[in-house]
Amino acid sequence: MKENTTEQAVGTRRLWLWRVHPWLSVLLAVCLAAMANFLSERHFFRRDFSEAQTAALSDRTKRLLDQLPFDTRVIVYFRDQDDLVRDVKNLLREYAYASRRVKVEVVDPDRDLARSKDVAVKYELTEANVVVFDGGGKTSFVEAGDVAEFDARTAYSGQPARMTLFKGEQVFSSALLGLMQTNRPVVYFLGGHGERSPDNYDPAAGYSSLVRRIRNEHMDVKTLVFGQEPSMPADLDALVIAGPRKTFVEAELNILKRYLEGSGRLLVLLDAGTEPGLDALLADWGVTVGHDRVAGLTLTGNELLVRDYGDHPITRTLWNVATLFNSPRSIQPAPSREGRWPVPTGLTSAREGTAGVPADRPVAVPLAWCSERGWAEMTPTEQPPKFDPATDRRGPIPVAVAVEKGPVRDIQVEIRPTRLAVFGDSSLVANGPLSAGYNPDIVLNALNWVLGRDPLLAIAPREPRYVRLAIGQGEVQTVFWLIVVLVPALAVFLGFWVWIRRRK
């Protein structure tokens, strides 16, 4: 009796095991799969095979992400219907894939009301379509308007706006760099000579929009007036002289001269028809200021459409971007012994053009110039400007120049280079053009370069590769009949054929 009970117990246990065993095996398989996926999350290969390379981050961004010292939360506070949201989300996911420290959260103000409210309150957001970078105790914001450029023709036609350039990587990496920087560079705007004021909101004369963009790039802006300060401020990282109208006095020129000789960083924007008296100072640094007005490709008569750029860190991101100068004066490198300026046509390397120049001499490189069809009008008041072969000079005529002296590298020390960028127009980044979406890049790039923040300048914007199939009504009908009617009809025919065959 006892043996029977024992045998029954063993039999029950075996039956139980027999029933449980398959499910334990399945559980084990699930664990193995989870482990494989866990490992694949940590060691993965990801490659973009498309021509547009929208998912490929630049080496500079990858290096930046490698050096990110703290966890960073990126909140994409975008409406789902926005044209940009997909590209923004996709790009930021690449940041998260490239660095474990970056966590991306998408908050749609229309769908996720509770979270949206939290985010809006925490970061004091009044409008949607902003990307928030939060890390290292600091926050940084990128607005939708800074991420891409759209075709102005489609923007007002009622059709979905066509993106012409996507600058996501540049602005997002800049925001990350802003979080990582311990000290924000301080940019001083010089006053006292009728310069454009950073506090002026006037569309034509003010620089308030430019200053907002400069602050968005994690720089502080202050103003400086010679005479109020005994010398250059100690926290000055770069000086901006924007559109001076009065002449500088000798003492002021000496201050500027000493500042430049002491590895100074200067951005100058000069207007045609003004005589601030900076010609001699700039000539010492290899820059010739023209007393003329550059004319050429124009839309309404006054502005100059510039599409030709030198190969320089400042202009490397401006591929396929036009810059609108407003009646600029010529600014060109001082002629070499051969009487020519170093980069004549096309995108020849600035280094090639300056080969053989000792490192302790200033090297001036043209940044932008009018086409060969443009000219330097030697009678600036002539309206409309007309090319006169006797007096005027035929293009290409440069309207912006970058100058660098040094760096002089020794075995143990590296002398900080002097950097100087000069533009022949100051209105190109006034509030009006900036609010219309023109011109910020070349001047902001110049400011970043002057400050030595080169890495971000090399991240080029991308041209989206959208599919545009120009198909007419006739083709639509043919495709409809072929694809929507004929192909499914073949499946129906095949079914009937099999059915009839089987009946036979």
Partner 1 sequence: MSTFLALFRRQWAAYFFSPMAYVCLTVFLAVSGLSFVGVVMRSFQDNLVAGDLLFGSQFFWMMALVAMALITMHLFAEERRSGTLETLLTAPVTETQIVTAKFAAALLFFMLMVAPTTLYLPVLLALRAGIGSVEAAPLLTGYLGLLLVGAFYIALGVWVSSLTRNQVVAAIVSFALMYVLFYSEYITYFVRNPVLGAVLNSLSSIRHIMDFSRGIVDTRPIVLYLSGIFVCLFAAVKGLEARKGS
Query: Which residues are near partner 1 by CB under 8 A?
Result: 18-19, 22-23, 25-26, 29-30, 32-33, 36-37, 40-41, 44-52, 54-55, 83, 90, 103, 108, 111-112, 159-160, 162-163, 464-472, 475-476, 478-480, 482-484, 487-488, 491-492, 494-495, 498-499, 502
- The H-or-E segment that residue 419 falls in is strand 418-423
Rounded to 5 degrees, φ, ψ at 50 are -80, 160
Taking the CA atoms of 74, 79, 84 and 87 in sequence, report the sign of the dihedral they define.
positive
> Min. distance of Cβ 324 from partner 1 in angstroms?
25
Q: Which is nearer to partner 1, 54 or 139 (CB)?
A: 54
> Min. distance of Cβ 317 from partner 1 in angstroms?
21
Strand-pairing partners, residue 196, are none
Q: Which is nearer to partner 1, 108 or 146 (CB)?
A: 108
Helix, strand or coil, per DSSP, at residue 245: coil
Question: How do beta strands 238-242 and 186-191 pair?
Answer: parallel
Helix, strand or coil, per DSSP, at residue 483: helix
Q: Which is nearer to partner 1, 11 or 262 (CB)?
A: 11
For residue 398, cis peptide bond before it (omega within 30 degrees of 0) = no
> Min. distance of Cβ 72 from partner 1 in angstroms?
14
Rounded to 5 degrees, φ, ψ at 204 are -90, -35
Q: Which is nearer to partner 1, 33 or 249 (CB)?
A: 33
Helix, strand or coil, per DSSP, at residue 308: strand
Q: Which is nearer to partner 1, 408 or 471 (CB)?
A: 471
The residues near 488 (Cβ < 8 Å, ≥ 6 apart) are none
Q: Which is nearer to partner 1, 359 or 479 (CB)?
A: 479
> Min. distance of Cβ 135 from partner 1 in angstroms?
16
Q: Which is nearer to partner 1, 115 or 245 (CB)?
A: 115
Taking the CA atoms of 344, 240, 453 and 48 in sequence, report the sign of the dihedral they define.
negative
> Min. distance of Cβ 466 from partner 1 in angstroms?
5
> Min. distance of Cβ 90 from partner 1 in angstroms?
7
> Min. distance of Cβ 384 from partner 1 in angstroms?
38
Q: Which is nearer to partner 1, 1 or 492 (CB)?
A: 492
Question: How do beta strands 265-269 and 418-423 pair?
Answer: parallel
State the virtual CA torsion across 351, 353, 357, 361 in degrees, nearest 10: -80
User: Could you please report the per-residue DSSP string of 461-480?
Assistant: -B----------HHHHHHHI
| Closest alpha carbon to 309 in 321, 294, 301, 293 | 321
The residues near 141 (Cβ < 8 Å, ≥ 6 apart) are 123, 130, 131, 132, 133, 175, 216
Measured CA to CA, the distance from residue 327 to residue 273 in angstroms comes to 10
Q: Which is nearer to partner 1, 339 or 472 (CB)?
A: 472
Measured CA to CA, the distance from residue 13 to residue 499 in angstroms comes to 53
| Closest alpha carbon to 328 in 364, 288, 371, 376 | 376
Measured CA to CA, the distance from residue 241 to residue 247 in angstroms comes to 12
Measured CA to CA, the distance from residue 309 to residue 321 in angstroms comes to 10
> Min. distance of Cβ 17 from partner 1 in angstroms?
11
Strand-pairing partners, residue 364, are 403
Q: Which is nearer to partner 1, 71 or 352 (CB)?
A: 71
Q: Which is nearer to partner 1, 14 or 394 (CB)?
A: 14
> Min. distance of Cβ 166 from partner 1 in angstroms?
10
Helix, strand or coil, per DSSP, at residue 234: coil
> Min. distance of Cβ 419 from partner 1 in angstroms?
39
Measured CA to CA, the distance from residue 372 to residue 485 in angstroms comes to 57
> Min. distance of Cβ 18 from partner 1 in angstroms?
5
Strand-pairing partners, residue 323, are 306
Q: Which is nearer to partner 1, 26 or 322 (CB)?
A: 26
Burial class (CB in 10 A: 0-12, 13-18, 19+), 232: middle
> Min. distance of Cβ 51 from partner 1 in angstroms?
6
